[in-house]
Amino acid sequence: MDFFSSTWFMQGVWHPLQTPAHLILVVALGVLIGQHGQRLRVILLVFAILLTMGFVIKQMVTFNLNKELIIVVLALISSVLIILRLTLPSTIIFLLTLLSGILLGLDSSPIFIPGMGESSRNNWLLGTSVSFYLSLTLMMLISTLLNKYWNGIILRVLGSWIATSAIFVLTLMLVKH
């Protein structure tokens, strides 16, 4: 039995990029963290730990939560904070990172195929973790750089785009419920 499967790993890598709700949360969170530029390494570590915790909890407990709805709400909150560009206490950034990490972990799992081995699932989760982590780091670094130019306007415009999409989709979700 292969210990490492590149197919499952790459499918996991694609997961955050194929799931728009996850993608906008990672982008919004990355931009928000980069905009504040404080304790980046600690925040990344918190995110990685909470994401893994989310994966583990998902295996043990089943939640009847509409996780996608909460993820879009978190993206909306993060994007509004980006637009307002307030000086936030690091506790709020940590809290948002914590919630985002755990919810993204809880909402990520490979499509179940009968006879699917444990190693395939683990490879998929590894790919997803790497992808989430790299995407968040990339967004943080890009926004840290962009924050220094034109008073960070580009980031605020990006925040308004994410907020708009989140409002549209939240309305649609609430109407459907």
Partner 1 sequence: MQMIKKHLTALLLITIIILPSLTFAHSDIASLQGGFSSGFMHPILGLDHVVAMVAVGLWGVFLGRPAIWILPIIFPLVMAFGGALGVVGVPISGIEIGIALSGVLLGLAVAFAFTPPLWVAAIIVGAFAIFHGHAHGTELPNATGPLIYSLGFVTGTGLLHLLGITFGELTRWPWGSKVVRIGGATIACIGAAFLLQAL
- Catalog residues that contact partner 1 under the rule CB under 8 A: 10, 13-14, 18, 20-21, 24, 72, 83, 134, 137-138, 141-142, 144-145, 148, 150, 153, 156-157, 159-161, 163-165, 167-169, 171-172, 175
**Pick 46 or 167: Cβ nearer partner 1:** 167
Report the nearest approach of partner 1 to the CB of residue 56 (Å): 26
Where are any strands of DSSP class E within the chain?
A: none
Distance CA 129, CA 15 (A): 10
Shortest Å distance, C-beta 62 to partner 1: 25
Closer residue to partner 1 in complex, CB, 27/125 = 27
What's the min distance (Å) between Cβ of 61 and partner 1? 27
Which CB atom, from 43 or from 72, has the smaller least distance to partner 1? 72
In 10 A of CB 44, how many CB atoms? 16
| Contact assessment for residue 119 and residue 1, using Cβ atoms and an 8 Å cutoff | yes
| d(C-alpha 106, C-alpha 103), whole Å | 5
Nearer to partner 1, 31 or 163 (CB): 163
Element (DSSP H or E) covering residue 2 = none
Encoding tokens for residue 98?
A: 């914590």
Nearest to 105 by CA among 146, 142, 72, 58: 58
As measured in angstroms, the least distance from the Cβ of 134 to partner 1 is 6
